[in-house]
C-alpha cells in the first residue's frame, strides 16, 4: 500500500542520484514506514541509503526490516560494520540479527562484542524458537524490595537513558527471584520515602522461559499487561516480553493458523508475499496437495468399486458434488469454531463431550434442512432421469436425503472431534487442516452415500 504510493518517487530520487533527498525523507518518517520503503529496493540500493543515516537511526530502521532482508543486507556488510550495527540494537533485536547470519559471520561479530553483551546474546539465543525465552528481551528494570520509592525513581531515571521499558519495575530478592512489581504510576503516586516492599504488587503474572510463546501472548492480553516477566525454573527473572512484540507474535500466530488450516506447510520466514519467489510458494503448498490428491485417488477407487451401482442408477452421480461439497463445508465450519474456541481458551480437550453433544445437535438441524432440500430437488426436478422401473423417485429422494443428512452429521462431528484430539495430544489443532478434513469426508461421504443407496434401494 504505502510502498506503492511512495516507492516510485524514492526510486526516481535514487536514479537521479539525489541521495540527500531520500535521506531527508528517511529522517522525517517513522522507521517502521521507512523499512517498508527500503524493502521495495534491492539490498545494494538500501545499503547506500542506510550508510548515509546516523548510526542510531540506521539501527532503528534495520530492526524493522524482515529477517530475510536483514540477511541480504548482512551479506554485503563486513564484520566490523555489522558489529557496530549490532551494538546499537536492543538485546532481542541483536539476537534476531545474529540468528540470521551464517555461523562464521556470527562468530566474528560475537568476538567483537563486549563480554557481558556476548554472554547476554548467547543466553537469549539459547532458547528454542517458539518459546517465551526466544521472544524476550533482557532490557528490563529489576530493583531490590529494600529500596525506597525515591531511590527507585533515581535508578529508573538512570536506566531510562538506555532502556525502552521503564514503566514496570520488577522487584527481586537477593537471588533475583521475582517477588513483586511496581508500575511507574504507582511510584509517582507513592510517598518518596516508602519502601518498595510496602507498595509493590506481589501478585505478578509471569511465564516460564520454556513455555510456548502462545502462552505468553495469552497472559499478556488476558491480564492487559504492558510487559510480562519471564522466569526460569527457580523463579529468577531472566527477561521480559513487551506488548508490541506480543502483538507481532499474535499476528504471526494467526497467519500460521490460517496457513496450517489451509494446508500450507513449511516454516515461514517473515518475507512478504510479493518478495517470496514463486518457487518457495510452490514448495510450501505442493506437499499437502500431493498427499490430498492421493486421498482423492482413494475416493476414485471407492467409486470404482461402486461402478455397477452407478451404471444402474446414474442419477446418483448427479448428487455427488452436492454431497461432497456440503460435507466439506459443514466439517470446515465446525472445525473452525472449535479451533478458534481452543485458541481463545474458551474450551479445552476436557470439554470434548459437551462440544460433541452441541455439534451433534447443530448438525442434526443442518442435516434436516439440507436433506429436505435434496429431497425436493430429486422429487420435483428428476422427470427426465433414467430410472429402473422397479425403483420409485420417492425412494431415491429419501435415500439421497438420508445419505446427505448422515454425511452432514458425521462431517460436522468429525470436524469438531479432530482438533480436540490434536489438542489432547498437545499438537496444534489447526493442523487438522480444512483441506485434509474435506478430503477425509469425501471418502466417508462416498461410503455413506453408496451404502445408504445399496441398503435402501437394493442397487
Q: Which of residues 294-353 bind its own copies (CB under 8 A)?
A: 294-297, 299-301, 303-304, 307, 310-311, 314, 317-326, 328-330, 332-333, 335-341, 344-348, 350-351
d(CA 353, CA 365): 19
Q: Identify which of residues 109 and 401 has a Cβ nearer to its own copies in the complex.
A: 401
Q: How far is the CB of 426 from its own copies (least distance, A)?
A: 14
89 in contact with its own copies (CB under 8 A): no
Q: Identify which of residues 79 and 90 has a Cβ nearer to its own copies in the complex.
A: 90
Q: How far is CA 387 from the centre of its chain?
A: 52
Q: Identify which of residues 107 and 201 has a Cβ nearer to its own copies in the complex.
A: 201
Q: How far is CA 15 from the centre of its chain?
A: 39
Q: Among residues 238, 241, 246, 406, which is the contact residue for its own copies, using CB under 8 A? A: 246
Q: Identify which of residues 197 and 221 has a Cβ nearer to its own copies in the complex.
A: 221
d(CA 459, CA 311): 10
Q: Identify which of residues 10 and 246 has a Cβ nearer to its own copies in the complex.
A: 246
455 in contact with its own copies (CB under 8 A): no
Phi/psi at 16 (nearest 5 deg)?
Answer: -80, 0
Q: Give the cell for residue 417.
A: 472431534
Do residues 142 and 176 make contact, with C-beta atoms less than 8 angstroms apart? yes
Q: Among residues 157, 192, 394, 455, which is the contact residue for its own copies, using CB under 8 A? A: 157
d(CA 5, CA 458): 67
Q: How far is the CB of 68 from its own copies (least distance, A)?
A: 13
Phi/psi at 142 (nearest 5 deg)?
Answer: -120, 130
Binding mask 396-435 for its own copies (x = CB under 8 A): --------------------------------------xx
Between vectors from CA 335 to CA 329 and to CA 336, what angle results, nearest 5°? Answer: 90
Q: How far is the CB of 430 from its own copies (least distance, A)?
A: 10
End-to-end CA distance of the chain: 59
Q: Among residues 122, 361, 424, 454, which is the contact residue for its own copies, using CB under 8 A? A: 361
Q: Identify which of residues 77 and 315 has a Cβ nearer to its own copies in the complex.
A: 315
Helices (H), 126-172: 132-135, 149-160
Phi/psi at 171 (nearest 5 deg)?
Answer: -95, 130
Which stretch in 42-50, 91-99, 133-141, 357-365 sits in contact with its own copies by CB under 8 A?
A: 357-365
Q: Among residues 272, 395, 454, 455, which is the contact residue for its own copies, using CB under 8 A? A: 272
Q: How far is the CB of 406 from its own copies (least distance, A)?
A: 15
Of 3-32, binders to its own copies (CB under 8 A) are: 4, 28, 30, 32
Which stretch in 49-57, 114-122, 133-141, 254-262 sits in contact with its own copies by CB under 8 A?
A: 254-262
Between vectors from CA 129 to CA 245 and to CA 233, what angle results, nearest 5°? Answer: 90
Q: Identify which of residues 101 and 359 has a Cβ nearer to its own copies in the complex.
A: 359
Write out the DSSP string of 407-425.
Answer: HHHHHHHHHHHHHHHHHHT
Q: How far is the CB of 385 from its own copies (least distance, A)?
A: 8
Of 32-51, binders to its own copies (CB under 8 A) are: 32-33
Do residues 114 and 84 make contact, with C-beta atoms less than 8 angstroms apart? no
Q: Give the cell for residue 229.
A: 516477566
Do residues 90 and 101 make contact, with C-beta atoms less than 8 angstroms apart? no
Q: How far is the CB of 320 from its own copies (least distance, A)?
A: 7
Q: Give the cell for residue 142.
A: 529489576
Q: Give the cell for residue 137.
A: 528481551
Which single residue is written with the C-alpha cell 510479493? 274
Question: Total residues at the site for its own copies (CB under 8 A)?
Answer: 119
With CA atoms as reference, report the closest residue to 254 among 340, 330, 332: 340
Do residues 237 and 139 make contact, with C-beta atoms less than 8 angstroms apart? no
Q: Identify which of residues 142 and 364 has a Cβ nearer to its own copies in the complex.
A: 364
Of 370-399, binders to its own copies (CB under 8 A) are: 370, 373-374, 377, 385-386
d(CA 242, CA 255): 20
Q: Identify which of residues 22 and 225 has a Cβ nearer to its own copies in the complex.
A: 225
Which single residue is written with the C-alpha cell 547470519? 101
Strands (E), 212-331: 227-231, 237-242
Binding mask 52-71 for its own copies (x = CB under 8 A): --------------------
Of 168-227, binders to its own copies (CB under 8 A) are: 184-185, 188-189, 203, 205, 220-226
Q: Is 211 exposed, middle or buried (0-12, 13-18, 19+ CB in 10 A)?
A: middle
Q: How far is the CB of 370 from its own copies (least distance, A)?
A: 5
Query: How many residues in the chain?
Result: 459
258 in contact with its own copies (CB under 8 A): yes
Of 275-294, binders to its own copies (CB under 8 A) are: 278-279, 281-282, 285-286, 288-290, 292-294
Q: Identify which of residues 118 and 208 has a Cβ nearer to its own copies in the complex.
A: 208
Amino acid at each position: 500500500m504505502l510502498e506503492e504510493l511512495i516507492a516510485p518517487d524514492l526510486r526516481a530520487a535514487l536514479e537521479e542520484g539525489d541521495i540527500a533527498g531520500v535521506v531527508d525523507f528517511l529522517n522525517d518518517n517513522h522507521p517502521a514506514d521507512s523499512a517498508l520503503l527500503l524493502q521495495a529496493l534491492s539490498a545494494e540500493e538500501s545499503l547506500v541509503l542506510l550508510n548515509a543515516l546516523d548510526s542510531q537511526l540506521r539501527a532503528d530502521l534495520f530492526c524493522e526490516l524482515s529477517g530475510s532482508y536483514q540477511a541480504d543486507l548482512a551479506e554485503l556488510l563486513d564484520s566490523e560494520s555489522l558489529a557496530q550495527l549490532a551494538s546499537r540494537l536492543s538485546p532481542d533485536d541483536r539476537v534476531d540479527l545474529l540468528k540470521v547470519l551464517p555461523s562464521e559471520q556470527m562468530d566474528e561479530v560475537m568476538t567483537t562484542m563486549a563480554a557481558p553483551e556476548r554472554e547476554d546474546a548467547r543466553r537469549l539465543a539459547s532458547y528454542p524458537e517458539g518459546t517465551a525465552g526466544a521472544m524476550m528481551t533482557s532490557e528490563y528494570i529489576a530493583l531490590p524490595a529494600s529500596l525506597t520509592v525515591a531511590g527507585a525513581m533515581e535508578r529508573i531515571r538512570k536506566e531510562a537513558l538506555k532502556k525502552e521499558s521503564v514503566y514496570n519495575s520488577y522487584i527481586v530478592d537477593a537471588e533475583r527471584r521475582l517477588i513483586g512489581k511496581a508500575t511507574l504510576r504507582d511510584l509517582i503516586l507513592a510517598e518518596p520515602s516508602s519502601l518498595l516492599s510496602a507498595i509493590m504488587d506481589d501478585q505478578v503474572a509471569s511465564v516460564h522461559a520454556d513455555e510456548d510463546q502462545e502462552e505468553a501472548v495469552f497472559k499478556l492480553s488476558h491480564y492487559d499487561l504492558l510487559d510480562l516477566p519471564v522466569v526460569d525454573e527457580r523463579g529468577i527473572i531472566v527477561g521480559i516480553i513487551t506488548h508490541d512484540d506480543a502483538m507481532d507474535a499474535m499476528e504471526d500466530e494467526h497467519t500460521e493458523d490460517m496457513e496450517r488450516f489451509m494446508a500450507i506447510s513449511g516454516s515461514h520466514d517473515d518475507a512478504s508475499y510479493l518478495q517470496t519467489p514463486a518457487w518457495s510458494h510452490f514448495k510450501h503448498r505442493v506437499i499437502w496437495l500431493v498427499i490430498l490428491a492421493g486421498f482423492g485417488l482413494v475416493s476414485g477407487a471407492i467409486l470404482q468399486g461402486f461402478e455397477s451401482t452407478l451404471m444402474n442408477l446414474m442419477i446418483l452421480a448427479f448428487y455427488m458434488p452436492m454431497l461432497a461439497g456440503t460435507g466439506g463445508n459443514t466439517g470446515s465450519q465446525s472445525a473452525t469454531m472449535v479451533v478458534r474456541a481452543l485458541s481463545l481458551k474458551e474450551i479445552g480437550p476436557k470439554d470434548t463431550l459437551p462440544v460433541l453433544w452441541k455439534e451433534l445437535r447443530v448438525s442434526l438441524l443442518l442435516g434436516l434442512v439440507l436433506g429436505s432440500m435434496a429431497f425436493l430437488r430429486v422429487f420435483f426436478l428428476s422427470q427426465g432421469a433414467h430410472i429402473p422401473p422397479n425403483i420409485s423417485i420417492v425412494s431415491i429422494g429419501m435415500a439421497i436425503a438420508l445419505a446427505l443428512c448422515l454425511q452432514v452429521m458425521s462431517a460436522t462431528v468429525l470436524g469438531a472431534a479432530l482438533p480436540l484430539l490434536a489438542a489432547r495430544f498437545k499438537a496444534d489443532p489447526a493442523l487438522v487442516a480444512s483441506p485434509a478434513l474435506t478430503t477425509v469426508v469425501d471418502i466417508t461421504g462416498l461410503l455413506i452415500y453408496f451404502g445408504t443407496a445399496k441398503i435402501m434401494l437394493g442397487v
